[in-house]
Structure 1
């Protein structure tokens, strides 16, 4: 999912944070669907994994030059 996010950033080259946030929200939705699959199987994404995923969103953003991105805004729509 994060690799797909990187591919989209490279393909679409978001010009500003608003455009980046739109891309990260789409990726966040993918993780939400994954969490739903875990729940259906009687499990969940563990706390450490949740924190790691959130950090990775910020690392991706900063790697593409968006060092001023708000970490919480990157994953604002998360259900995990």
Structure 2
């Protein structure tokens, strides 16, 4: 993955889930890949406003929905961690006014 933003490139995505033995690493790896693909999309598409950003983040949220259906139990700890990562991404790319609930508005977890 080609991430240009150094803050994102060095960020330890889903760190708390990797430390928690409840979550299988292969499932957390897939979640991390979703977040990194979201960052690539943001860098490639350069959303002009929050509405455009929400389209991208909600598509990534749909991917987490699918991941949950496979083998990843997104319960309280995971929900909080994933939401924090979406918020980190929004802030890092200059969308400080983003609403975290709107960022992950399509979640079913």
Equivalence for 1:28: 61
Equivalence for 1:47: 76
4+ residue runs of structure 1 moved beyond 2 angstroms?
none
* Alignment check: 8 A CA contact 1:6 1:60 kept: yes
CA RMSD in angstroms comes to 1.0
Number of equivalences: 76
Q: CA deviation at 1:49?
A: 1.3
Any gaps of 5 or more consecutive residues in structure 1?
none
TM-score (normalizing by structure 2) = 0.67
Any gaps of 5 or more consecutive residues in structure 2?
1-33
Equivalence for 2:104: 75
TM-score (normalizing by structure 1) = 0.91
